Amino acid sequence: MIDEPEVRAFAEQFRAFLKAIEESVPAPEPTRLHQRVTDHLGGDPTEQPVTTEGFAAYDLANVQAAMDAYLAGDGVSVDLIGLVGSGRDHHNLADLMNNARKQAQFDIGTVDYTTVTVGVGRERACVSFGLYLISDGDKRLAVLMRLSNYRGGALETLIEVMGGGAEGGQTFLHRIREEIIRHHICRGQVLSFEPWEYGAGMGPLRFHERPSVEAADVVLPAGTLEAVHRQILGVAEHRERLLAAGHHLKRGVVLYGPPGTGKTHTVRHLIGAQREATVIVLTGLGVQYIREACNLARVLPPALIVLEDVDLVAEERTTSYSNPLLFQLLNEMDGVAGDADIAFLLTTNRLDLVEPALAQRPGRVDLVVEVPLPDAPGRRRLLSLYGVSAHLEADEVESVVTKTEGTTGSFFAELSRRAELLAATAGDALVGMKHVTAALDELARSREAAASSGRPQSPPAASTPYV
């Protein structure tokens, strides 16, 4: 049996022993980091409130551009320092300062940079962990900027502001938000949001070269392209007049038709024709980024939001009646103000799936345009456009026009390629009727094979048109 008073006495002695050890070890000196920030702010940083704001990871370059613009202002000077110490990314700014003082855990080190894509073939280095010690007139701020996921969830661009009290932090962040809009890296660019399946990363934003497709190279029934032009480009061109007359600028156009008839081709032409617009392309399940796309378009007008193959989304029903993603898309379209110069361009080859949702929301789409299989004059133009008819006699051209009934625009691009290849293989300098006929036979055979295997009958359309 243990004697209780004896145990208690031992415990007391042991506690006194531990205390003696603790007192014999001197408290660590605060690090240079703590001293440096204290000197800058004119007071102990551990007693300052911190104002925090998170931005998307892909906004790092925008936040950087905003910081640079702010720092370039009159009467603003800055010292940028890095931080070292293990586990620094698990602490917020207040903790970092506290630990620098009490446990000498974090100190001044080198600044971390991350290279970010800011356009096609353009990159810039952005601070991904660094502390800006800012003097703005008589104001003193310490601003920690980093790319982090320490708050849990996705990677984000995080700004923490110390100095000037809570109000100083709010004022600073307000300025940063303004500067982001002014210096936004996406303004006037062509970009896409794509589902991001590679774990933590900068996210789904990609930049693309602005395509260049002449109106003459888009073969559609008479009046079709003109009608689309009027809605998309005409409204942008006459924006002042329309606004003055009290009309809305926001508009929606749906292009529908079978695969390979030129919907994406038309979209590429429109993107190229609207040189100043910020273009955001969402394809299929990329529509989940519709909120981000609308937010971006709101701050960067004139803007064109392209929603390709919306039927893919329309098919994603959770019940037979509701379709969250499609309705989210329509809600977001509703949420854009009418006077914003923002155009929505939707494409689909299943109008029957998309139409019910659109019909329930009248007024979101101003124009629904069919992009059909080409008629005889269309096929004649396509033969010429793709160089097939260049060396054929008039009656030969007519026979090809007749034989190609029921084919798509993309068929002619493929026919041209095959005929050229057959001519090259045969060592013939020019493509003639025999090559075209052989190419037609080949394509007919592969269409029959595809049909008997239950696959779609049209040849595959040229894919990934934006990259």
Ligand X SMILES: Nc1ncnc2c1ncn2[C@@H]1O[C@H](COP(=O)(O)OP(=O)(O)OP(=O)(O)O)[C@@H](O)[C@H]1O
User: What residue 163 binds from Mg ion, ligand X, none (CB within 5 to 8 A, per partner kind)?
Assistant: none
Tell me the window of 75-83, 195-203, 264-272, 434-442 that interacts with Mg ion (CB under 5 A): 264-272
User: In whole angstroms, what is the distance from residue 118 CA to residue 125 CA?
Assistant: 10
> Helix H segments across 300-408?
311-314, 324-335, 351-359, 376-385, 394-403
Binding status of residue 218 toward ligand X by CB under 6 A: yes
Which residue of 31, 105, 148, 264 would you call a contact of Mg ion, by CB under 5 A? 264
Binding status of residue 287 toward ligand X by CB under 6 A: no
Which residue of 48, 148, 288, 349 would you call a contact of ligand X, by CB under 6 A? 349
Q: Which is nearer to ligand X, 252 or 262 (CB)?
A: 262
Task: Kindly state the smallest distance separating residue 440's Cβ from ligand X, in Å.
Answer: 17
Number of other residues whose CB lies within 10 A of the CB of residue 84: 14
> Helix H segments across 130-283?
165-182, 224-229, 235-237, 239-244, 263-273
| Bridge partners, residue 142, by sequence | 133, 162
Task: Kindly state the smallest distance separating residue 265's Cβ from ligand X, in Å.
Answer: 3
Binding status of residue 105 toward ligand X by CB under 6 A: no
Task: Kindly state the smallest distance separating residue 259's Cβ from ligand X, in Å.
Answer: 3
- Nearest alpha carbon to residue 181 among 296, 57, 18: 296
Q: Which is nearer to ligand X, 98 or 261 (CB)?
A: 261
Torsion of CA 7, 11, 14, 16, to 10 degrees: -130
Contact 454, 466 (CB under 8 A): no
Task: Kindly state the smallest distance separating residue 328's Cβ from Mg ion, in Å.
Answer: 22
Binding status of residue 353 toward ligand X by CB under 6 A: no
Contact 204, 59 (CB under 8 A): no
Binding status of residue 458 toward Mg ion by CB under 5 A: no
User: In whole angstroms, what is the distance from residue 180 CA to residue 55 CA?
Assistant: 11
Binding status of residue 99 toward Mg ion by CB under 5 A: no
Binding status of residue 389 toward Mg ion by CB under 5 A: no
Which residue of 265, 364, 380, 447 would you call a contact of ligand X, by CB under 6 A? 265
Site for ligand X in 377-436 (CB under 6 A): 409-410, 413
DSSP 113-164: EEEEEEETTEEEEEEEEEEEEEEETTEEEEEEEEEE-TTSSS-EEEEEEESS
User: What residue 91 binds from Mg ion, ligand X, none (CB within 5 to 8 A, per partner kind)?
Assistant: none
Rg (CA), the chain: 32
Tell me the window of 132-140, 141-149, 154-162, 458-466 that interacts with ligand X (CB under 6 A): 458-466
Peptide bond into 372 cis (omega under 30): no
Tokens 């038709």 appear where? 257
331 CB-contact burial (10 Å; exposed 0-12 / middle 13-18 / buried 19+): middle
Amino acid at 202: M
Q: Which is nearer to ligand X, 105 or 261 (CB)?
A: 261
Q: Which is nearer to ligand X, 96 or 440 (CB)?
A: 440
Binding status of residue 264 toward ligand X by CB under 6 A: yes
400 CB-contact burial (10 Å; exposed 0-12 / middle 13-18 / buried 19+): buried
Count of residues that bind Mg ion according to CB under 5 A: 2
Site for ligand X in 313-332 (CB under 6 A): none
Residue nearest ligand X, CB atom distance: 409
Task: Kindly state the smallest distance separating residue 92's Cβ from ligand X, in Å.
Answer: 47
CA 457 centroid distance within chain? 33
Tell me the window of 144-152, 259-267, 327-335, 374-382 that interacts with Mg ion (CB under 5 A): 259-267
User: What residue 409 binds from ligand X, Mg ion, none (CB within 5 to 8 A, per partner kind)?
Assistant: ligand X
Q: Which is nearer to Mg ion, 38 or 264 (CB)?
A: 264
Binding status of residue 220 toward ligand X by CB under 6 A: yes
Binding-site ranges for ligand X (CB under 6 A): 218-220, 259-265, 349, 409-410, 413, 461-462, 465
Rule CB under 5 A: which residues touch Mg ion? 263-264
